[in-house]
Structure 1
Amino acid sequence: MSNNIHMFIRMIHEEVKDDEDDAAITTFLVEQYAQHMDHDFFSHHGGSVLNHRVINRNRAEGHERLYRDYFADSLTYPSQLFRRRFRMHRSLFLRIQAAIETHDQYFVQRFDVVGVPGLSSLQKMIAALRMLAYGSPADAVDKYVRIGESTTIESLKKFTKTVVEIFGEQYLRWPNTSDIARLMSVAEQRGFSAEDRGPEVSYTINRHKYTMRYYLVDGIYPSWRTFVKTIPSPQGNKKKFFATQQEYARKDVEQAFGVLQSRFAIVRGPGRMWDVETLKYIMTSCIILHNMIVEDERDTTHEDVDFNYDAVATTPTINLSCNRTSKVMEFIQVHH
């Protein structure tokens, strides 16, 4: 036993020296406790959860580093890098931060009884955005942001749900009159009619004249007359040209989803959560954030916007073989 334990036993004997039975019992209990402390199975944990070790991450240092790098008067990283890493301009980021702090007290920084600051809304929001933007694991931001894995997951859930609750009604609504007028104006600039109906269509395929409108689709759609698919393995310049143009001009929704995937890599990769509700909030919040970014950058010229986002290594693609193996064939022959 350590010297501290021996000193404690002597103190007990001095206090209860008039009662030998009490002294013996107390000595026995202290020695038993000391033996347990030496055993491997006894958990030395600093928190209220068994087998959980408290790591002093110095959260204040993490907050100060983030502030110096991206939000101070003398920035470490310029605004272009901020947008590449967080998918939006700093002004929109601060607008969302102020809104979620007002809506949910979880994002308001708190202090413990001795005045040590907890995680700031800046740290929680950046941890959530890094997971959404990069599709990275929850513990990937620990070293820089100074936030634990479980707290990052909690922040992601809270952030996505809060974004849907605050901004869902505005950024998931049907187009209003001003939206339609703006879209029609853009369409007119690109050669389409400004009227509230599609242009007249007339075309000939295989010497048959058609006036029915059609959609450019890929091979997963059914063989309907309104669906025009590409030509698989086109032969000849004419078919190659048609296939190229068809694939180039395919549905806008597919292009929009491709932009969404490039902006928020978590949409492109495997699901990070298990429950359907959380996955729904993640997907919906990414769409809302995408619409907010589009609105924020609507008046910005294309040349001033960088669409090359920072990304981590993509998930390796596994090529699955559809050929029957010899073992499978043997199994079929035996049990057929």
Structure 2
Amino acid sequence: MTATIRMLAYRVTADLTDEYVRIGESTARLSMKKFVKAIVSIFGGEYLRYPTSNDIARLLEVEQRRGFLGMLDSIDCMHWKWKNCPSAWKCMYAGHVNKPTIILEVVASYDLWIWHAFFGLPGSHNDINVLDRSSVFAAVAEGRAPPCNYTINGHEYTMRYYLADGIYPSWAILVKTIPAPHGKRKKHFAACQESARKDVERAFGVLQARFVIVRGPARYFQPKVLKDIIYTCIILHNMIIEDERHLYLGADQFNYEVNDDTPFEPISRDNIPDFMEFIAHHYRIRDRGTHSQLQADLIEHLWNMHGRA
């Protein structure tokens, strides 16, 4: 345990643990693999889950006070360098940094809790490719997500949304900033959106600061081991967030101990969504008209809320 925690938190190599805890290199590596596998197996269901109905209500209330009605979290991707990538795979995993990397997609909230993690795609992909392959919007497309009804500037919306940067597509479930805003209203909206979207960037920074193994190059050869390591770091990160939640915005207004509801209704043979309904939800998620209308309503709402001052 001591050797494994030191390797995760300080990126200590396996052979250096012999000088501190008198454990050989091979034993330290084996301990690391068994530790991360056990953490994901035991605690993954609780700390890598989707938000429950209580969580969604809390997140929506906090974001409403920040001016973003119906906003749940922020989404973005991070590249983790792979030092020991096999030579036959280097071209496939080399991306914009000209070195092999593996992509991690996360969804993080205002308190830096990571609600969604998708890891394993080669670094040659971009955020759009990762989004097409991840399951971040699967519950919404399958009709299993809890309902979310809100009104902005007289327009009614029934689907929550996430904040994203400019590379993401113009979908109804994503709200992006304005690259070159003109006018006070659009400039104010861009500033508010970019400020709120920094939650996911802060989550990346805190995760890398707490577990330096994620910040430095990965030294293992098997992608499966790297996946267990990154998920273990996220689980431990969420454990720390849970323990320190009383320090975050509005945490004193919620009872975190009462959380017995399930994240989403599980899929069974009796409640498999109809294929046409699935296609309809899919088109609702990718509706560009709703995206433009929602962005325009948020511009006016944020300006009326505190932009005039």
Is TM more than 0.5 here? no
Q: Which of structures 1 and 2 has the bigger CA Rg?
A: 1
Would you tell me which structure has more strand in proportion to its own residues?
2
TM-score using structure 2 length = 0.43
With CA pairs under 8 Å and 6+ residues apart, which has the higher RCO, 1 or 2? 2
Higher normalized helix content (fraction of residues): 1
What TM-score results when the alignment is normalised by the length of structure 1? Answer: 0.40
